[in-house]
Amino acid sequence: MNTKAEQPKGTNAADIGKLVLAGLVLAAGIFGYYWLGRSGNIPASTRLLGVGAAVVIALAIAAFTALGRRARNFIAESQFEMRKVVWPTRDETIKTTGVIILVVIILSLLLGLIDLILKSVILDWLLKLGG
């Protein structure tokens, strides 16, 4: 059971302003990539660094909103839950994979046999009766 107090779902004007600013920074980074590429003087790697910086700055701005706090909380809880996962051993993984491959082969042979029987019944037997 989660004992944390529920946070209000609504966003205030400051959060909306921050998200708009983050969107504008991201759009400016993308616009700058194409605008600087028109001159041909700036290499693509430098322009990509600019877009990367814009993405980092936009994410940093968005992280300080209520939505960003909820996302950080979700990621932290997900990492905590991942520590509880019991992963299979190498031997279990190899055995399970072998069983799956064997089942796929058996089912494909079975479906191929059914297809062959239906083909022979329809083409060889039913169509010859009608002709």
- The pLDDT assigned to 25 comes to 95
Residues 43 and 77 placed together within one structural domain of the fold: yes
In-domain check, residue 103: yes
For 74-123, the pLDDT digits (tens) are: 999 999 999 999 999 999 999 999 999 999 999 999 999 999 999 888 88
- The pLDDT assigned to 127 comes to 73
Percentage of the chain beyond pLDDT 70 is 89
34/39 Cα distance (integer angstroms): 9
Q: Which helix (H) or strand (E) holds 77?
A: helix 66-82
In-domain check, residue 3: no
In-domain check, residue 4: no
In-domain check, residue 2: no
Please list, residue by residue across 29-64, b when 16 or more beta carbons sit within 10 angstroms of its beta carbon and e when fewer do: beebbeebeeeeeeeeeebeebbeebeebbeebbee
Longest dimension (CA), the chain: 80
For 30-70, the pLDDT digits (tens) are: 999 998 888 778 888 899 999 999 999 999 999 999 989 99
pTM for the model: 0.54
The parent domain of residue 118 ranges over 88-131
For 8-29, the pLDDT digits (tens) are: 565 688 889 999 999 999 999 9
Residues 73 and 94 placed together within one structural domain of the fold: no
Cβ atoms of 51 and 31 closer than 8 Å? no
Band the pLDDT of 124: cuts 50, 70, 90: confident
